[in-house]
Structures are given as structure tokens and as C-alpha cells.
Amino acid sequence: MVKQNNLSVIILAAGKGTRMKSSYPKALHQILGKPMLYYILGSAYLLEPKNVFVVVGYKKDLVKAYLEKDFPRAIAVDQDRQLGTAHAVAAVSGHRKKLAGQVLVLSSDCPLIDGKTLANLAQKQDKTQSSATILSTEFPDPAGYGRIVKDRDGNLLKVVEEADAAPDQKLIKQVNTSIYCFHRDRLFDGLKDIGSSNTQNEYYLTDIVEQLAAAGKKVSTLHLADYAQVLGVNDRIQLAEAEKSMQKKINEKLMVQGVTIRDPQNTYIQDTVIVGQDTIIHPGCLISGKTAIGPDCRIGPFSQIADSTIGDRTAVNASVVLGASIGKENTIGPYSYIRPYTHTGIGVKIGGFCEVKKSTIDHKSKVPHLSYVGDTHIGKGVNVGASCVTVNYDGFSKHKTIIEDGVFIGSDTMLVAPVRIGKDALVAAGSVITEDVPDGCLAIARGVQKNIQQGALRYREKKRKDQS
Ligand code: UD1
Ligand code: CA
């Protein structure tokens, strides 16, 4: 998008969001696992503005902590008492000199807005030399929104809030989206004259429209047909609607790029995720963070993948993969848990009910059934039998297990770390290995079996006698 050096952004995020019935500020309520603020800031930064101010109030420390984490360049401004949207913008007046000539005002509870729409709005304000340009839309049900009141010739007169609207004004379908682009000085000069004599005793930013229009200043609207972009989120029902909208947008973008999503309504993918062509995503998946999935993969059903890379042609079935890098042509699951700092090579199999943590598993190695692998290096072509455990924790510290290329580990084996199993070695099933196994050795570490002749018969006879 074009660089908007002449543009500053103010995002209003101080409100409590009473109707959310929550102990968290509204701006931090999540859509697809990210706060609403993430989306609005993301769209604002697409315009490359000179600076971005976020007005914070209710539980401001939580909002500031989030900003520091994801948007450290945004400047938080305190509004200690939430006396209305005009009062919120006025909180930024101390920074007036730092602001560019054009000021975009947005609300954090309008998270679906597109960067392109914001650019169009700024462009219209600039082109028409308006003191203010309001983004308006028409909802099938406009209840709750401020209505755009015009004269007979279609000139904008004012915005009237639902609470203050006369019955005939409530019939107006064109509403204020609470997204505006202002001429900086018209905005800050105008704010000084806004009062709070209305039904809600609040300082309404919308009052500036009537004030500017009455003073003969130019006020224009940009009408948006796609009202889904400007749905306000005031309660949990609208939050769920906004999530559905965002989900649709992200999934459709991936489908256009050549990804099959079998049940888009039941697939939750964050906008940070990259997915390759011809990958099929089965129902019930959550994919998030810095995740990149290669082409021709099979993901799901019912998998959760976060902050991971998944190589080409890999299948992840009903499993959880977090902070891992999985190689090409792997099969994972069903029902496995791959934890951070796990790296796998090409053609690795991690089968059912396995947990792998902070380990590398090299090309063509298999951990097919019911095993725990932690703090371990597994070389190439290794086979780990069913129910093996790398015993990595002694109650105080973690220790490493090294399994060299070509090793075969029999089922139900404990490898008590630190321990090294040498190249091509074989560990017999049921062993508890506490010492290193040199290359090529067969290690057996289990009780010697005794078969007692007639023992079963004698045992049962004794039991029966004891009971009678
Ligand atoms: C506002 C508009 C309304 C518009 C609607 C669109 C006003 C008076 N009304 O109404 O015309 O149709 O948005 O969604 O502006 N906030 C603060 N400090 C405050 C008050 C609010 O930061 O003192 C923030 C809120 O956190 C929120 C935003 O401003 O992000 C809008 O406030 P809200 O109370 O939701 O306004 P609406 O009643 O929805
Ligand atoms: Ca609102």
C-alpha cells in the first residue's frame, strides 16, 4: 500500500465494553486467538502511517502489555475516565504537534476493517479537502448505530446516536461506522466545543459533524457497500459473528491460493499461517502463529499446529504440533503430541500416542507406538519399538539420550539418560538401559526368564486349597 507520510492514526480502545460482561478490556477479546486490537492495528499499519496512537483506559496495563508485545511502535495514551468518544480523542491532544495533517480515527471494536478501505477513506478526505470524511454503511438492522442525517439535497447535517434519535431518524438506514478521516486542526479545534448534554451524558465524537457542517466546513461520507467489514463488536454474540467473518476471509484467501479446506466453518487458521498448494485440511483443525505448511500435505482431522513448519507431503492426523519443525514426507499421529524444539528429517514416522519433546529424529526413523522421546537425538533409520521411554529427568535435571544411526530398540525399553546407544546396536525388549551400548552390540538388561515345570498347575491347586 502507498506510504501515507501525511497520516496519523488514533485507535479508541479505552472502553470497558460493558455488554461483554467481562473482567478483561473489550479490545483484548479475541478473534481466532488474537485480540481485536491486533486486527485493527494490522490494517492501520498497512497504510504505513507516520504514527499510531492507542487510547487506553479500562485495565490499561493489560492493553499496554499487549501493545508492547505485538506493536511496540504504537504509542499508548491514557484516558483515565471514559467520558465518551470525543473525550477519548481529546486525550491525544497533548501529542497534537506530532500528528500528521490527516488523522484517521478508528475503534478497536471494529476489527474487520480492510486496509484498502482505510486507504480509500484517507484518499477521499484528501481529494475532497474535507474537514472530516466519515465511513458510512447500511446494515439490514441499523439498531444501536449512529444515523447519518442529511438535508433534502443530500448534504450531511449531523450524526444522531440511537439513544438520542427521534422515531423518524431511527428509520434512517445509513449509519456511522465510527471510522473517520479528519483534517488534524479541524478535529482538535472542534473537540474543544463539544459538550455532553445528551441522553448518555457523554462527549460524542459524532457531534463534531454537526459543528463542522454548521460552520460551513466541508464534511463528506465514503459509503461502504460491504457492511461485514464494519460490524461493531459490543457483545459476545457480535464477537462470534466477527470471528466467523474473519475465519471466512482467511480461509477463502487460502482456498484461492490452491488449498483444499473441506469444512471451512470448522477450520480455524490465523492470518499469519502459510499453506502450500494442494494441501488438504480436514475438519476440526486449529492452525496458528508462525506456521508454514508445505504443499501436498494432509492436515487433520482434528489437529492443532502452532508456530511450526511442516514439510511437503507430510500428514498430521489428530495430533498437536507446537513450535516444531517437521520434515518432508513424515507421518504424525493419530493422537501424538509434538512439543517445542523438535526437528525431524525426511520420511520420519511418529505414530499413535507418542510424545516428543526437544528432540531431533533423523531421516527414515520411526517411533510408531506409545513412546516418550525427550531431550534425545535419534539418528537415521532407527526403529523405536512400542512403549519406549527416554528417562530424561532425574527429579533435578534433564539429561540427553543419543541413539545412533541404524539402531533397533525393542519394545517397552527404558533408556535412562544420560545414555548413548551406538551405531547399529540392538536393545532387547523390556530392557532398562543405564549404561552406554557400544556400536553394533546387543544389549539385554532384564530379569532372566525361568519356566517352572507344572508350576501353573501347582499354583492353582494351592490357591483353591487356600480358599476352601
Ligand atoms: C459509536 C458511535 C456511533 C457508531 C458506532 C459504530 C459515538 C458517540 N458513537 O457508538 O455513531 O454508529 O460507534 O460502531 O462515537 N471509547 C473510548 N473512550 C470512551 C468511550 C469509548 O476509548 O470514553 C472507545 C471504545 O473502547 C470503543 C469506541 O471508542 O472502541 C466506540 O465506543 P462505543 O461505546 O462502543 O461506541 P458506540 O456506542 O458503539
Ligand atoms: Ca461500539
Q: Which three cell numbers stand for residue 407?
A: 539402531
| Range 38-51 average pLDDT | 97
Contact in structure between 385 and 410 (CB atoms under 8 Å): yes
State in Å: Cα 32 to ligand 1 middle. Answer: 23
Please write the tens of the pLDDT for every residue from 75-101. Answer: 999 999 999 999 999 999 999 999 999
**Is CATH 3.30.70.1170 correct for 258-443?**
no
CATH for the stretch 7-230: 3.90.550.10
- Return the percentage of the chain with pLDDT > 90, whole number: 98
Task: Indicate if ligand 1 lies below 6 Å from the C-beta of 229.
Answer: no
Give the ligand at the shortest distance from the Cα of 16. 1
Q: Point out the catalytic residue in the list 343, 369, 377, 399.
A: 369
Please write the tens of the pLDDT for every residue from 182-230. Answer: 999 999 999 999 999 999 999 999 999 999 999 999 999 999 999 999 9
With bands split at pLDDT 50, 70 and 90, how would you rate the model's confidence at 335?
very high
Task: Indicate if ligand 1 lies below 6 Å from the C-beta of 109.
Answer: yes
Task: Indicate if ligand 1 lies below 6 Å from the C-beta of 85.
Answer: yes
Q: Please provide the size of the chain in residues.
A: 468
Give the ligand at the shortest distance from the Cα of 145. 1
| Model pLDDT, residue 366 | 98
| Residue to mutate (ligand 1; options 105, 107, 238; most atoms within 8 A of CB) | 107
Task: Indicate if ligand 1 lies below 6 Å from the C-beta of 14.
Answer: yes
Q: Which three cell numbers stand for residue 27?
A: 479490545
| Model pLDDT, residue 89 | 98
| Model pLDDT, residue 288 | 98
| Model pLDDT, residue 454 | 97
**Average pLDDT along the chain:** 97
Task: Indicate if ligand 1 lies below 6 Å from the C-beta of 145.
Answer: yes
Strands (DSSP E) found in 96-213: 102-107, 132-138, 147-150, 156-160, 174-183
Ligand 1 atom closest to the CA of 13, numbered from 1? 26
The residue ranking higher by pLDDT, 16 or 409, is: 409
Ligand 2 ion: nearby residues, β-carbon < 5 Å:
109, 232, 234
State in Å: Cα 239 to ligand 2 middle. Answer: 12
| H/E element, 306 | strand 304-306
Q: Which three cell numbers stand for residue 439?
A: 556400536
State in Å: Cα 17 to ligand 1 middle. Answer: 9
Task: Indicate if ligand 1 lies below 6 Å from the C-beta of 205.
Answer: yes
Backbone angles phi, psi at 66, to 5 degrees: -65, -45
Contact in structure between 106 and 11 (CB atoms under 8 Å): yes
| Model pLDDT, residue 436 | 98
- Residue minimizing CA distance to atom 1 of ligand 1: 178
CA distance 39 to 107: 11
CA distance 295 to 274: 10
Task: Indicate if ligand 1 lies below 6 Å from the C-beta of 146.
Answer: yes
CA Rg value for the chain = 31
pLDDT score of 1 more than 80: no
Please write the tens of the pLDDT for every residue from 85-142. Answer: 999 999 999 999 999 999 999 999 999 999 999 999 999 999 999 999 999 999 999 9
State in Å: Cα 109 to ligand 2 middle. Answer: 6
| Model pLDDT, residue 51 | 97
| Model pLDDT, residue 231 | 92
CA distance 254 to 274: 8
pLDDT score of 2 more than 70: no
pLDDT score of 8 more than 70: yes
Ligand 1 atom closest to the CA of 26, numbered from 1? 26
pLDDT score of 349 more than 90: yes
CA distance 445 to 454: 28
| Model pLDDT, residue 172 | 95
Where exactly are the structural domains of the chain? Answer: 7-230, 258-443
**147-150 and 156-160 strand pairing:** antiparallel
| Model pLDDT, residue 385 | 98
| Residue to mutate (ligand 1; options 37, 83, 85; most atoms within 8 A of CB) | 85
Task: Indicate if ligand 1 lies below 6 Å from the C-beta of 11.
Answer: no
pLDDT score of 390 more than 80: yes
Give the ligand at the shortest distance from the Cα of 227. 1
| Residue to mutate (ligand 1; options 36, 53, 178; most atoms within 8 A of CB) | 178
pLDDT score of 13 more than 90: yes
With bands split at pLDDT 50, 70 and 90, how would you rate the model's confidence at 3?
low
Please write the tens of the pLDDT for every residue from 423-446. Answer: 999 999 999 999 999 999 999 999
Active site residue 369: yes
